[in-house]
Every structure is written in C-alpha cells, then in structure tokens.
C-alpha cells in the first residue's frame, strides 16, 4: 500500500470554523492587525460569524492569502471594538470593519486624516429600494455602507394599557395619558438606583424627531427600563411593567401572546438602526469576496427572514406594505454638536428618573 498524502485541502476542510479567526501574533483584544473585524447584534452573531468563516476558509482553499480575522462573541473584558477609537494610524485600523455601532468607530483625528481624506469606501451597491434610500440610509459621503437594518417598533400590551388607545405615532408617546406605560431598553446593577446602560439611540431619535419638549414628555411616561430580549417574554403577562415597549422588530415579532399584544410600525417610520461596513480603499480588491458576501442574497435572505431587512435588491422586502423608516442621518451623527445632543438627551432621561418618588420607581425585571 502506498503512502497516503494528506494535502492542505483535507486538513483545512476538517478544521472547525473557529480556526478561521484570530492570529497567535495578535492579542484578542487588540484593534490593530486585523484584515477583518466584525460584530453584529447578538441574535445574528453565531450565524453571521460562521458565514464569514466559511468564505475565508474557501478563499484559502482556492489559493487566496490567509487573512487575519476577528469576530468577538462577547467573551467579556475589553475587546477590539472598545479600543478602536484610540487608533491613530491607518495601518493599525482593520482593513474591513463590520459593525452596528452608529458608524461612530473613528476618533475625530482619525476621521479627519483618513476617513474624510478618502481612504475608506462604503462599496455600496446602487440598486437599493426606496424605503432605505428615502430615509437617508445611503451615506452621502460614500464612507459607510449599510447592508441591513434593525427597525425599532412598538410592542403593545393591550391588557396593560387598560382601555387607553393604542399609539400609532412616536409623537403619541409624549401624551401624559401614557404615564407609567413606556418601557425602552436599558439595565442597572442590582442595588443601584442609577441606570448603568440605557438606549441613547432611542433618546436621541426622540430628541431629533420631537424636540426637547417632546423628549421630556416621553421620559416622564417611563416607569422603568428593561433589556430588549426580556420584553417579548413579559409583554402580555401579569408582570408586564408597561403597555408600550420600544424594541427591535426582530424581538417584537416573536412575542407569543398575540391575543393580548400587537406590533405597531409607527407612522413616522420605524427607527432605523443600521448594520454597516467600511473598507480601506487600498484593500477593496483583496477583500472583495467578503464585501460581496455582506451585500449578497444568501446573507440578505437570512437577515430579512429574521426581521433585519436586507438592502440586497435580490431579496424580497419583508417590511409591512407602505412601512417607512426613520433615520438620524450620517451627516448629523458626524457633526460635532451631536455629542452635546446625546448628553442633553441622556441628562433629560436621568433627571426624569431622579425626580420620581422612590415608591414610583419600579425594579428592573
């Protein structure tokens, strides 16, 4: 019997997907050194990471170069995304970045010297449905490319509303009749009075849409916050702390108690939370197979099926007929004054919580 020669193809084919990520020469928490650094919302993370691993592995089997890739799974500790904003040099920044962090991954100096100077590209396909383009999701500067969106909608607990009309607009949430009815995303550590985390995205969107007075009226109607993943589990039960939940459509749609609950897509448009990517111009060609994957139909169908509507033109639209999206705007998010708006919106919320009598403040579920 002759010698059995095991080629690299067989060895690579039997390696687990996790081998496609990391590099022994690069610390796990380091932002620098990666050809690809990615992250998406938790419900999508494992599947999207596997898809990247499959393509990186196949690329290597087809004779392509080995790539340094990182896709953190939330192991705890300070990771590469937390350190991105400290990066100053272009060579230290990931060649391709996939994220869902408001497009705010660059410090101002890096943005001015490298992003605004044209070193990054959205690689955004041009054939995008009007629901996405009309609200401004396509970056006018061509730096950030959106491949899907997480729409924030309302999950209504009709029992908890106790006869009050179901709100149909974001502006309705400012009505005093909804006192103690509105719950949005956030959490705090056990025993602490102040909220450790809360959705600045929602607060900023309400400030931009309704102004300071409207925002103040909304937060006055908030009895407590809750992690978005808890909301569909508790809405429609006797433990429901509010009748109006603000959360991603992907979570609202899985609430099982449809006899007592309903999903409302606000008339002004669901709040668009984009999943996006950007690629260094100098590396567009070598990373083109990954760019095509994120804008492609296979991933797009998976995202849309899970209520993260894809911008891929080959994927049928899953949003309700006539549904609109409401987006803050890329130029607005990049403007220097936006940071002050975030601080103002946050302080408005925290002051409203502090002003409540202690017996009115509900414990986090």
Same fold, 8-149+274-323 and 151-270+341-360: yes
pLDDT at residue 108 in the model? 86
Whether residue 341 is predicted with pLDDT greater than 80 in this model: the reply is: yes
Fold of 8-149+274-323: D-Maltodextrin-Binding Protein; domain 2 (3.40.190)
* Residue 138 burial (C-beta neighbours within 10 Å; 0-12, 13-18, 19+): buried
345, 346, 351, 353 alpha-carbon torsion, rounded to 10°? 110
pLDDT (mean) for 50-78? 86
For residue 9, the model assigns a pLDDT of 37
The residue ranges of every structural domain in the chain are 8-149+274-323, 151-270+341-360
Of 192, 196, 179, residue with least CA distance to 242: 179
pLDDT in tens, 179-227: 999 999 998 877 676 787 899 999 999 999 999 999 999 999 999 999 9
Q: What is the pLDDT of residue 194?
A: 76
pLDDT over 70 percentage in the chain: 86
232-253 pLDDT, tens digit per residue, is 999 999 999 999 999 999 999 9
Q: How far apart (Å, rounded) are the C-alpha atoms in residues 51 and 290?
A: 10
More confident residue, 205 or 105: 205
Least confident of 14-28, 82-96, 297-311: 14-28
pLDDT digits (tens, 9 = 90+) for 126-158: 999 999 999 999 999 999 999 999 999 999 999
Q: Which fold has domain 151-270+341-360?
A: D-Maltodextrin-Binding Protein; domain 2 (3.40.190)
Whole-number pLDDT of residue 245: 98
Over residues 272-317, the pLDDT tens digits come to 999 999 999 999 999 999 999 999 999 999 999 999 999 999 998 8
| % of the chain surpassing 90 pLDDT | 73
> How far is Cα 156 from Cα 262, in angstroms, rounded to an integer?
5
- What's the mean pLDDT in 106-121? 91
Q: What is the pTM of this model?
A: 0.89
User: What is residue 216's predicted lDDT score, i.e. its pLDDT?
Assistant: 98
What was the pLDDT predicted at 7?
A: 36
Does residue 6 or residue 321 have the better pLDDT? 321
- Asked if the model's pLDDT at residue 29 lies above 50, the reply is yes
Mean pLDDT over 72-88 rounds to 75
C-alpha span between 244 and 182 (Å, rounded): 5
């Amino acid at each position: 019997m002759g010698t059995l020669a095991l080629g690299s193809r067989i060895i690579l084919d039997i390696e687990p997907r996790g081998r496609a990520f990391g590099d022994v020469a690069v610390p796990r928490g380091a932002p620098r050194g990666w050809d690809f650094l990615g992250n998406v919302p938790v419900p999508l993370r494992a599947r999207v990471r596997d898809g990247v691993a499959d393509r990186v592995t196949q690329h290597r089997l087809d004779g392509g170069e080995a790539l340094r890739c990182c896709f953190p799974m939330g192991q705890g500790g300070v990771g590469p995304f937390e350190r991105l904003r400290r990066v100053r040099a272009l060579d230290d920044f990931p060649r391709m970045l996939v994220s869902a962090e408001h497009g705010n991954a660059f410090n101002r100096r890096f943005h001015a010297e490298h992003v605004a100077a044209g070193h990054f590209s959205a690689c955004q396909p041009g054939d995008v449905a009007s629901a996405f383009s009309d609200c401004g999701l396509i970056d006018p500067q061509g730096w950030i490319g959106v491949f899907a969106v997480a729409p924030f909608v309302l999950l209504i607990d009709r029992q908890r509303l106790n006869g009050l009309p179901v709100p149909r607009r974001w502006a309705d949430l400012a009505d005093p009749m909804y006192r103690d009815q509105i719950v949005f995303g956030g959490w705090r550590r056990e025993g602490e009075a102040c909220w450790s985390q809360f959705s600045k995205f929602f607060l900023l969107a309400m400030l931009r849409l309704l102004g300071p007075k409207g925002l103040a009226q909304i937060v006055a109607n908030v009895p407590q916050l809750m992690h978005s993943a808890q909301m569909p589990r508790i809405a429609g039960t006797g433990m429901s702390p509010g009748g109006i939940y603000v959360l991603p459509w992907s979570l609202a749609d899985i609430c099982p108690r449809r006899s007592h609950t309903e999903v409302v897509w606000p008339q002004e448009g669901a709040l668009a939370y984009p999943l996006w990517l950007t690629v260094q111009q100098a590396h567009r060609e070598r990373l083109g197979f990954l760019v095509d994957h994120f804008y492609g139909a296979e991933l797009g169908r998976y995202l849309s099926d899970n209520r993260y509507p894809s911008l891929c033109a080959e994927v049928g639209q899953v949003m309700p007929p006539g549904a609109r999206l409401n987006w803050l705007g890329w130029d607005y998010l990049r403007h220097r004054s936006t940071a002050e708006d975030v601080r103002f919106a946050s302080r408005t919320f925290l002051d409203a919580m502090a002003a409540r009598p202690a017996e009115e403040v509900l414990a986090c579920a």
